[in-house]
Amino acid sequence: MKYYFIAGESSGDMHAANCMRELKKLDSGAEFAFTGGDYMIEVSNCKPAIHIREMNFMGFIDVLKNIATIKKNFKKVKKDILAFKPDLLVLVDYPGFNLRMAKWAHQHQIKTDYYISPTVWAWKENRVNIIKQYIHKLFVILPFEEAFYAKHNLKVHFIGHPLVDAIEFKKPQLKSKELFVTENKLSDKPIIAILPGSRKQEIERMLNVMLDVTSHFPNYQFVVAGSNSLDQSNYQILSSYKIPVVYNQTYELLSYATAGIIKSGTSTLESALLNLPQVICYKGGNLSFKIAKKLVDVKYIGLPNLIMDAPLVKELVQDDFTISNIIDELKKLLFDKEYIETMLINYQKLRAHLGGTGASARLAQALYHDVNIKN
């Protein structure tokens, strides 16, 4: 059967790739085409219609500035889908683009499933109607989403969180700490991880503040996780701080670090599942943030906090994202044993709440079943 995946961000690319890997086990004749990134390229051995680095837009203002490019991308992907003639279109997260694609696909009688629900429970709840109308099956990864959709009379399928799978899959392949340190020419000082995000705008707004913290902890070495979705020129600022950047080694970095300064997003959950004490950070454009604050109805932005509906990890957002606040929190993460122990205990509760491994396999089985039925 023929499967077309669309992911617009690094995390979605990874989850889609893991699903592809499981589909290959079930469907020996599986053919893939996609819009995505390096993870799907590796699994499928194909080129994407558009690489995620060309879809890297963040916030209301940035989207408006790049509306012509977005329209061009949309047109190119539609053409690629029609040429491929998939048996099933699988949309992965990335709702601004993918919900529009769902409507178009419905008009062209293309069966469409959605993996990783848009955050309609946080804002734009009316998007539920779009999902009802255009999506054949919706697969969710957060436990509370089932109850949310139930009140809208929409049956969804909770399959567990794919990061649990992704981490378990990668653990046996991780380099040893000794090899990680040697290959990246690191010292023997304890490591503090810096994950500034995977978008150019995030790097521009946040990385310099994170780096200004480093001089206050001379007994530690800071290491930045670079994103393959960005050009390496985005990390030129690191040379003046003499801070190393590593690529394709994020799980090693999170596994061997003592603490982490982590931009809100998937990496906050990865850090929690790898038992890394962390502080969650976010700073957006002032206008975009003001608009979002009026529209978005959530208490937390970090995934560990959001999933557990409790402040497991300190969040430094917008005006609170300052050098002094990061320093204060890092001191707790490094030196306050009770604070660290409480965070690690809460991580265990989080892991139990997400369920066990097998999310990617369960999704693949559901997609394989869906593509082989007529309705």
pTM of the model: 0.80
In this structure, the answer to whether residues 146 and 288 fall within a common structural domain is: no
In this structure, the answer to whether residues 55 and 173 fall within a common structural domain is: no
Conformational region of residue 197, where left means phi above 0, alpha means psi within -120 to 50, and beta covers everything else: left
Total of domains in the chain: 2
In this structure, the answer to whether residues 26 and 97 fall within a common structural domain is: yes
- In angstroms, what CA-CA distances link 220 with 213, 241, 311, 342? 11, 14, 27, 23
CATH no. for residue 21? 3.40.50.2000
Cα-trace Rg, the chain:
21
pLDDT in tens, the chain (375 residues): 999 999 999 889 999 999 999 999 999 999 999 999 999 999 999 999 999 988 876 555 666 777 888 899 999 999 999 999 999 999 999 998 999 999 999 999 999 999 999 888 766 778 899 999 999 999 999 988 988 898 888 889 999 999 998 898 889 999 999 999 999 999 999 999 999 988 888 888 899 999 999 999 999 999 999 987 777 888 888 888 999 999 999 999 999 999 999 999 989 999 999 999 999 999 987 776 676 666 566 789 999 999 999 999 999 999 999 999 999 999 999 999 999 999 999 999 999 889 788 999 999 999 999 998 866
Determine the residue type at 309. Answer: D
In this structure, the answer to whether residues 114 and 146 fall within a common structural domain is: yes
- In the block, residue with structure tokens 């089932």: 146
In this structure, the answer to whether residues 108 and 195 fall within a common structural domain is: no
Residues 326, 340 contacting (CB under 8 angstroms): no
Q: What angle do CA 216, 178, 180 make, to 5 degrees?
A: 70
- The pLDDT of residue 10 is 87
Rounded CA-CA distance 116/322 in Å is 32
In this structure, the answer to whether residues 95 and 35 fall within a common structural domain is: yes
DSSP 44-101: H----SSBGGGS---HHHHHHHTHHHHHHHHHHHHHHHHHH--SEEEEES-HHHHHHH
In this structure, the answer to whether residues 149 and 66 fall within a common structural domain is: yes
In this structure, the answer to whether residues 267 and 350 fall within a common structural domain is: yes
- In the block, residue with structure tokens 């906090």: 305
Nearest CA to 43 out of 11, 77, 73, 20 is that of 20
- In angstroms, what CA-CA distances link 113 with 103, 177, 201, 216? 12, 40, 30, 49
Nearest CA to 36 out of 19, 23, 53 is that of 53
Residues 128, 361 contacting (CB under 8 angstroms): no
In this structure, the answer to whether residues 23 and 70 fall within a common structural domain is: yes
Domain that holds residue 18: 2-160+358-371
In this structure, the answer to whether residues 147 and 23 fall within a common structural domain is: yes
Nearest CA to 370 out of 125, 96, 169, 159 is that of 159
In this structure, the answer to whether residues 122 and 21 fall within a common structural domain is: yes
In this structure, the answer to whether residues 290 and 367 fall within a common structural domain is: no
